[in-house]
């Protein structure tokens, strides 16, 4: 029943780009389209328009062969027999503690501040634990890199913790071994190594900012002076470091302050999506876009020069699609206009665009900032530093600190060269998965195989583990002690919430064992390190124990952010810049990007992340080859057609995806897929693009060829599911339009709610009156489409993943979806996001049609009573917002995609097959607050209840609260003239409303066709 390898001609979604272009040319003003299929009016789009679950009938046609049928029949007979034997009634058991830990109250969760890292950079989180079992993480409000928000990767850490595919025991040549055998063997070898001073010994790590782990590595280097240290990270930031060296002659860490910026120019930087500190940056950026009641109408302006569409580009007021390789030239031209160096080659349109941007930048001296992207080469970074200095940004919108990572580690290329020279005979790989994710031209696997002794420490028995002699399972970050730096240098502490589930060990232990030192625990090492170094941060005369307790409790060391410094910009920078890149292009540009969901491949085995729709394409369980419409047209490539990417003699095949807003001649592919040994879920999902990666072109290069195959595949995109006919669902305008027409959200749209008592039916008012009237508002100006809310909702509410085939049938279960809309032409459209949870209608259409009153009003909310539901799906059919989800199969247990039972939230029912479910405004959190308030005979104070999506949101776009509390935050937000309700005209009286989206385009760059 495989879907991917069907190569039939009847796969929906074939589109004719010429027709679309003609149709879009005819659109005027703000008309929104969801995707190319909509504009082309393909049968696929129409299908989803007319039926909620269009592929249902097709499921009858699934072929079952004789063997499967017999297997199933045999199985059911066996189960029936087993069922009879189990006729006696089940006995429930209560298992109390022998000695209850202090402060523990069974039934009540405990919360611990800890931190999780991505690419070495820490985000502070608060982890929730039910009787010693971590179930949920949310942002730590006191942590500067989190500010209470969380990203999807951190949210999925709980699922990863319980992943049954994690490495479970230490293995020697893939045969299970023991930790003590490992210690014994390593001790023996370390003694031998000691004699030679560590000659031939090397350590390969990922990016490390952890002060204690770096100290450990220094210890090893001291013990073995000839030992070497190499560092490799597939999503690395080499350009950032090299750029700083070029500009200042030294490495620095750049920290941006978007809250102080009025004009922001991004040179291919996805600072809202992936850069270190992105959660804090998103908050700062959004604060500059939010319209506050009673304050003057004001907004920052974001220009993005984008190599490929990102959520940063989607939030921008102006996007200039330029292949990543040509951004070097654009940056030079931008700098030249500010009097730095010589211009690069730009087209006339680009020059016009840049003129307007530079004018705007100059006008905002001191309140402007240019952000270079991590994927860009050193020259762009150096130029950005120079431009920022010229714009008076340094010290204001940009500050510099000491680098977070020390120098002194070799690159992966240095390592393979050393192996070539037979200089390495013992290699310890600490984390990462270099056999899978190293650039192909280095042939790391081939080199690794030649190292005599290969020791590997990681979470999964993956590609590298398979090639290693010793493989030691890593303890998860929720299972071990540690520390790491946040983007601004704040020391963030990691503490375990649970003892390692699978014989995992920390990097400290492995490093110590391999180097023959005392195998101290991670706790001893980390605490020992800080005992020596705490005085810098401790308040006067504070004892270490008090300091440690306070810091662990807060999850960070207070006031440890690195102080700002002012590096000296080289005067002769312009002459030092390397030659501009790619003056003559050969073939197409090939661009790599970390994946929105699985990053560099490390999260490939996470059902939550694999099923989380990718931010812009809304594709699940796959990666694609992104092409611009014009390029696709020129090459005659159809959407979802398999294409062969040829580059430096290597070939990779993947499905094409025609991406509005993609620069012409640039082809973007996502890292992390096509894993061979990822686990039950991740193995074989998508196609692997690492074979195309080269050490000298980690992010982009020219010389790519594309070849049609004529075969098309199914891609499980959620974009056309639950589509609603355009009725003013999404409302956006420019800031100037808002100034002139403060009530534009109500003008020209059909959505006026009928007046009270206009209908013959009684009004749905609650009698007797409710104590609380919960309501939500989502600000479309600040929603950046990062999908953190979607996965937070999934984690909080026990929402199941369903797998690619089910998503193809429209059966995905996310209660909260983010609709993506485009407006304008295909080449550089404006992009908008609109999160759609349940509207909690006061006059809910779903309630009238339920035959068993499972869909009823309860406490003023639109409740779904699972134990009453019989699964007629009438409610879903009658829901105008299409926010109800049906359990078509038994998703909750027994499937590889099922959420591990231990990760489920005990406060929420786990729904069974045949049950309708939906957003409840996190009723479990409301009830918890209500019980707490009831016990003290008080009302719930404003802000005490936060829904999971609201808490996760990096930009605080979601407001939630009680309408009956006067002056509550939600009342203030809803008083905004921008507030509007979706489909209000059908008299549903939704509690969820939106603030109309505002953009702040530069009048000098206004598009002619725009009337608003």
Partner 1 sequence: MPQVFRPRANAIARVLIIFAVLFVAIWGAVLWGYYQTPYVGFTGKAPYQPVPFSHKHHVGALGIGCRYCHNGVTKSEFAGIPPTHTCMTCHSQLWTNAPMLQPVRQSLETDTPIRWVRVTKLPDYVYFNHSVHVKNGVPCQACHGRVDKMPLVWKVHGFRMRFCIACHLNPGPHLRPENAVYAMGWKPKIDPKLLAAKLMKHYHIKTAHLTDCYVCHR
| Interface residues toward partner 1, by CB under 8 A | 91-100, 105-108, 766, 768, 770-771, 856-859, 861, 863, 865-868, 907-910, 920, 923-924, 927, 931, 934-935, 937
CB of 140 to partner 1, least distance (A): 25
> Measured between alpha carbons, how far is 1009 from 991 in angstroms, rounded to an integer?
35
Peptide bond into 768 cis (omega under 30): yes
> Measured between alpha carbons, how far is 171 from 473 in angstroms, rounded to an integer?
9
CB of 945 to partner 1, least distance (A): 13
> Measured between alpha carbons, how far is 472 from 456 in angstroms, rounded to an integer?
6
Do residues 29 and 1012 make contact, with C-beta atoms less than 8 angstroms apart? yes
Q: Which two tokens stand for residue 576?
A: 């030092």
- Beta-carbon contacts of 958 under 8 Å, excluding residues fewer than 6 positions away, are 776, 777, 778, 779, 789, 835, 947, 949, 950
Residue closer to partner 1 (CB basis): 466 or 866: 866
Residue closer to partner 1 (CB basis): 543 or 870: 870
CB of 863 to partner 1, least distance (A): 5
Instruction: Give the 3-state secondary structure of residue 172.
Output: strand
Q: Please name which of 800, 587, 562, 833 lies closest in space to residue 700, comparing C-alpha atoms.
A: 587
Q: Please name which of 850, 863, 835 lies closest in space to residue 960, comparing C-alpha atoms.
A: 835
Residue closer to partner 1 (CB basis): 533 or 868: 868
Residues in the chain: 1012
CB of 213 to partner 1, least distance (A): 33
- Other residues' Cβ atoms within 10 Å of the Cβ of residue 181: 12
Residue closer to partner 1 (CB basis): 80 or 98: 98
> Which helix (H) or strand (E) element contains residue 510?
helix 507-514
Q: Which two tokens stand for residue 641?
A: 């057609």
Residue closer to partner 1 (CB basis): 130 or 530: 130
Residue closer to partner 1 (CB basis): 188 or 848: 848
- Other residues' Cβ atoms within 10 Å of the Cβ of residue 340: 18
> Measured between alpha carbons, how far is 948 from 923 in angstroms, rounded to an integer?
11
CB of 924 to partner 1, least distance (A): 5
- Beta-carbon contacts of 70 under 8 Å, excluding residues fewer than 6 positions away, are none
CB of 107 to partner 1, least distance (A): 3
Residue closer to partner 1 (CB basis): 39 or 869: 869
* H helix intervals, 364-506: 378-390, 412-420, 434-437, 444-450, 463-467
CB of 850 to partner 1, least distance (A): 12
CB of 276 to partner 1, least distance (A): 38
- Beta-carbon contacts of 816 under 8 Å, excluding residues fewer than 6 positions away, are 789, 790, 793, 835, 836, 837, 919, 949
Do residues 368 and 391 make contact, with C-beta atoms less than 8 angstroms apart? yes
Residue closer to partner 1 (CB basis): 15 or 854: 854
Residue closer to partner 1 (CB basis): 571 or 937: 937
Residue closer to partner 1 (CB basis): 709 or 924: 924
CB of 1007 to partner 1, least distance (A): 48
Residue closer to partner 1 (CB basis): 61 or 937: 937
CB of 93 to partner 1, least distance (A): 5
In this structure, what DSSP letter does residue 505 have? B
> Measured between alpha carbons, how far is 380 from 244 in angstroms, rounded to an integer?
10
Residue closer to partner 1 (CB basis): 96 or 225: 96
CB of 32 to partner 1, least distance (A): 35
- Beta-carbon contacts of 484 under 8 Å, excluding residues fewer than 6 positions away, are 115, 117, 120, 121, 122, 209, 210, 491, 492, 494
- Beta-carbon contacts of 892 under 8 Å, excluding residues fewer than 6 positions away, are 798, 800, 898, 899, 910, 911, 912
CB of 866 to partner 1, least distance (A): 6
Residue closer to partner 1 (CB basis): 737 or 951: 951
CB of 893 to partner 1, least distance (A): 13
Say if residue 1012 is exposed, middle or buried (CB neighbours under 10 Å; 0-12, 13-18, 19+).
middle
Residue closer to partner 1 (CB basis): 83 or 96: 96
> Measured between alpha carbons, how far is 1007 from 1001 in angstroms, rounded to an integer?
9
CB of 856 to partner 1, least distance (A): 6
Instruction: Give the 3-state secondary structure of residue 918.
Output: coil
Q: Which two tokens stand for residue 990?
A: 């939704």
Residue closer to partner 1 (CB basis): 356 or 770: 770
- Beta-carbon contacts of 416 under 8 Å, excluding residues fewer than 6 positions away, are 442, 443, 444, 447
* Chain center to CA of 292: 28
Residue closer to partner 1 (CB basis): 84 or 105: 105
> Measured between alpha carbons, how far is 116 from 670 in angstroms, rounded to an integer?
23
CB of 846 to partner 1, least distance (A): 14
CB of 1001 to partner 1, least distance (A): 45
CB of 100 to partner 1, least distance (A): 4
Q: Position of tokens 């129409």?
A: 46
CB of 89 to partner 1, least distance (A): 8
Residue closer to partner 1 (CB basis): 90 or 296: 90
> Measured between alpha carbons, how far is 262 from 171 in angstroms, rounded to an integer?
55
- Beta-carbon contacts of 557 under 8 Å, excluding residues fewer than 6 positions away, are 490, 491, 492, 493, 530, 534, 537, 551
Do residues 966 and 953 make contact, with C-beta atoms less than 8 angstroms apart? no
Q: Which two tokens stand for residue 5?
A: 């390898």
- Other residues' Cβ atoms within 10 Å of the Cβ of residue 979: 16
Residue closer to partner 1 (CB basis): 465 or 861: 861
> Which helix (H) or strand (E) element contains residue 189?
helix 179-196
């Amino acid at each position: 029943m495989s879907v991917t390898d069907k190569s039939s001609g009847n796969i929906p979604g074939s589109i004719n780009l010429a027709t679309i272009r003609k149709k879009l040319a005819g659109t005027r003003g703000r008309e929104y389209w969801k995707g190319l299929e909509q504009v082309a009016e393909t049968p696929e789009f129409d299908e989803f328009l007319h039926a909620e679950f269009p592929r249902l009938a097709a499921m009858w046609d699934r072929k079952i062969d004789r063997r499967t049928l017999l297997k199933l029949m045999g199985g059911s007979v066996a189960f029936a027999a087993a069922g009879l034997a189990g006729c006696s009634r089940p006995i429930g058991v209560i298992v109390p503690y022998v000695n209850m830990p202090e402060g523990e109250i069974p039934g009540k969760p405990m919360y611990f501040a800890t931190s999780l890292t991505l690419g070495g950079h820490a985000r502070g989180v608060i982890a929730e634990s039910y009787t010693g079992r971590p179930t949920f993480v949310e942002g730590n409000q006191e942590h500067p890199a989190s500010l209470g928000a969380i990203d999807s990767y951190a949210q999925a850490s709980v699922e990863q913790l319980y992943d049954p595919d994690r490495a479970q025991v230490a293995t020697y040549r893939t045969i299970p071994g023991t930790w003590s055998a490992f210690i014994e063997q390593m001790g023996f070898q370390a003694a031998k190594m000691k004699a030679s001073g560590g000659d031939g010994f090397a350590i390969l790590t990922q990016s490390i900012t952890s002060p204690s782990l770096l100290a450990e590595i220094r210890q090893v280097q001291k013990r073995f002076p000839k030992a070497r240290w190499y560092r490799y990270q597939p999503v690395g930031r080499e350009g950032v470091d090299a750029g700083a060296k070029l500009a200042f002659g030294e490495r620095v860490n750049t920290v941006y302050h978007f809250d102080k910026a009025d004009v922001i120019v991004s040179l291919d930087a996805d600072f809202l999506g992936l850069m270190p500190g992105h959660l804090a940056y998103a908050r700062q950026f959004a604060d500059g876009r939010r319209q506050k009641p009673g304050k003057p109408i004001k907004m920052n302006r974001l220009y993005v020069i984008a190599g490929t569409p990102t959520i940063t580009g989607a939030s921008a007021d102006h996007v200039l699609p330029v292949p990543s390789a040509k951004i070097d030239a654009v940056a030079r031209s931008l700098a030249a206009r500010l009097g730095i160096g010589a211009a690069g080659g730009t087209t006339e349109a680009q020059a016009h665009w840049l003129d307007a941007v530079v004018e705007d930048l100059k006008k905002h001296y001191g309140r402007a900032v240019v952000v270079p992207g991590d994927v860009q080469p050193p020259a762009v970074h150096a130029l950005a530093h120079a431009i920022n200095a010229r714009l008076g940004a340094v010290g204001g919108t940009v500050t510099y600190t000491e680098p977070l990572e020390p120098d002194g580690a070799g690159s992966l290329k240095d390592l393979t060269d050393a192996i070539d020279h037979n200089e390495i005979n013992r290699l310890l790989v600490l984390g990462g998965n270099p056999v899978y994710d190293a650039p192909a031209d280095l042939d790391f696997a081939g080199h690794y195989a030649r190292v005599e002794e290969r020791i590997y420490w990681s979470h999964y028995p993956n590609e590298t583990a398979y090639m290693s002699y010793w493989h030691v399972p890593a303890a998860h970050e929720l299972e071990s002690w540690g520390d790491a730096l946040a983007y601004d240098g704040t020391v963030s502490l990691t503490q375990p919430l649970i003892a390692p589930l699978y014989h995992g060990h920390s990097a400290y232990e492995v490093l110590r064992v391999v180097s023959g030192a005392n195998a101290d625990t991670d706790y001893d090492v980390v605490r020992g390190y800080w005992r020596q170094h705490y005085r810098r941060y401790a308040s006067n005369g504070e004892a270490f124990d008090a300091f440690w307790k306070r810091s662990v409790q807060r999850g960070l060391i207070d006031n440890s952010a690195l102080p700002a410094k002012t590096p000296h910009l080289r005067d002769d920078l312009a002459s030092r810049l390397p030659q501009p890149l790619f003056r003559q292009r050969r073939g197409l540009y090939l661009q790599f990007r970390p994946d929105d969901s699985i990053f560099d491949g490390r999260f490939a085995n996470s059902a939550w992340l694999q099923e989380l729709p990718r931010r812009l394409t809304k594709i699940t369980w796959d990666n694609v080859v992104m092409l611009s419409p014009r390029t696709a047209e020129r090459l005659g490539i159809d959407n979802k057609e398999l294409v062969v990417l040829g580059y430096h003699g290597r070939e990779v095949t993947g499905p094409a995806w025609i991406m509005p807003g993609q620069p012409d001649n640039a082809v973007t592919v996502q890292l992390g897929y096509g894993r061979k040994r990822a686990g039950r879920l991740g193995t074989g999902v998508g196609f692997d693009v690492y074979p195309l990666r080269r050490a000298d072109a980690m992010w982009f290069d020219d010389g790519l060829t594309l070849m049609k195959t004529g075969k098309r595949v199914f891609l499980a995109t959620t974009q056309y599911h639950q589509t609603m006919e355009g009725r003013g669902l999404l409302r956006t305008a420019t800031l100037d339009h808002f100034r002139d027409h403060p009530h534009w959200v109500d003008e020209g749209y059909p959505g006026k709610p009928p007046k009270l008592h206009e209908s013959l039916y009684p009004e749905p008012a609650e009698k007797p009156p409710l104590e609380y009237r919960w309501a939500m508002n989502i600000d479309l100006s600040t929603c950046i489409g990062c999908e953190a809310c979607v996965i937070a909702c999934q984690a909080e509410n026990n929402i199941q993943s369903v797998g690619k085939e089910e998503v193809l049938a429209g059966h995905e279960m996310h209660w909260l979806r983010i609709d993506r809309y485009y407006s304008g032409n295909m080449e550089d459209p404006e992009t908008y996001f609109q999160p759609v949870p349940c509207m909690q209608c006061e006059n809910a259409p779903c309630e009238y049609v339920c035959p068993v009153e499972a869909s009823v009003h309860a406490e003023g909310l639109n409740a779904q009573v699972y134990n009453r539901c019989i699964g007629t799906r009438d409610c879903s059919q009658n829901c105008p917002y299409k926010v109800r989800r049906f359990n078509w199969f038994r998703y909750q247990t027994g499937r590889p995609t099922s959420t591990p039972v231990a990760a489920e939230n005990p406060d929420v029912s786990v729904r069974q097959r045949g049950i309708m479910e939906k957003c409840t405004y996190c009723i479990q959190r409301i009830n918890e607050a209500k019980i707490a308030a009831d016990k003290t005979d008080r009302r719930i104070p404003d802000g005490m209840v936060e829904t999971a999506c609201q808490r996760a949101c990096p930009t605080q776009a979601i407001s939630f609260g009680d309408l009956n509390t006067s002056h509550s935050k939600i009342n203030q937000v809803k008083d905004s003239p921008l507030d509007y309700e979706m489909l209000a005209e059908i008299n549903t009286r939704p509690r969820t409303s939106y603030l109309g989206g505002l953009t702040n385009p530069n009048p000098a760059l206004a598009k002619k066709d725009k009337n608003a």
